[in-house]
Amino acid sequence: MTNPNLPHYDLGYVGEPTAAVPKTCVFCEEELDGTDTAEWPIGTSDGPRQAHRQCMLRSTLGGIGHLIAHPYWCTEHNDPDAGLSYRHSAQLVEAYVHIIGVGADR
C-alpha cells in the first residue's frame, strides 16, 4: 500500500527517501497542493524535490521583470521578479509564454 504522506516519483527514482521530503516547491518554497506540480522531481543535495511547473519555467527563462523590462528590473533594481514573490512572478512568466511565446531576441 502506498503511503499518501510520501511524495510520488515517477521516473528514475528507486528507494525510500532517507528523510522526510518537504511538500513544498524547491524554487518558491510555497506548499504544493498537487494542481501545479511538475511531473518530474528536481535532484538536490537533499534528495529529490518537487516543484511547481511554473517555477521550473521561471527558473529557466528568468522572472517576469527580466522578460518584460530587463534593463529596468535586472540592471537598475536587481530584481528579475519585478517586486513580486517568486511564485507570482512564475505564474506571470507562464502567462507571458502563452501570450508572447519564448522570445528569440532575448
Stretch that binds Zn ion, among 10-18, 25-33, 40-48, 93-101 (CB under 5 A): 25-33
Q: Indicate whether 52 belongs to the interface with Zn ion (CB under 5 A).
A: yes
Distance between CA 31 and CA 11 in Å, rounded? 22
Q: Indicate whether 70 belongs to the interface with Zn ion (CB under 5 A).
A: yes
**Residue 78 — φ and ψ, nearest 5°?**
50, 40
Q: Which of 58, 66, 91, 96 binds Zn ion (CB under 5 A)?
A: 66
- C-alpha distances in angstroms, 29 versus 5, 61, 63? 18, 19, 16
Q: Which of 21, 25, 92, 93 binds Zn ion (CB under 5 A)?
A: 25
Distance between CA 73 and CA 1 in Å, rounded? 49
Applying CB under 5 A, what is the total number of residues that bind Zn ion?
A: 8
Interface residues with Zn ion (CB under 5 A)?
25, 27-28, 52, 55, 66, 70, 74
